[in-house]
Amino acid sequence: MDPEGGRRGSAEKNFWKMGKKSKKNEKKGKKPTVSTFAMFRYSNWLDRLYMLVGTMAAIIHGAALPLMMLVFGNMTALQMQEFQETKLFQL
């Protein structure tokens, strides 16, 4: 059983060419681009509904952190106010 497959610790022949582009890749050129509306040309109403629900969920998720920072900031300010009034904690 040979775990190295007969290489005896040496790299494969194409090791030095791994980062270089071959002539095949150079001949291919640019791939054609597709517009946003053309990409969803074959979508039905359910696909569009899923996209709308996903977009709305992403907006809500993105707005949650700033809103929670406001809530916790106000809560902390109220607690500090209560502590200063009861003289338990003074700055």
Least confident of 9-13, 32-36, 57-61, 66-70: 9-13
Q: What pLDDT, on a 0 to 100 scale, did the predictor assign at position 37?
A: 83
What tens digit of pLDDT does each residue of 2-52 get?
555 566 656 555 655 666 665 665 566 777 888 888 888 889 999 999 999
CB atoms within 10 A of CB 83: 13
How far apart, in whole angstroms, are the C-alpha atoms of residue 58 and residue 64? Answer: 10
Q: What pLDDT, on a 0 to 100 scale, did the predictor assign at position 3?
A: 57
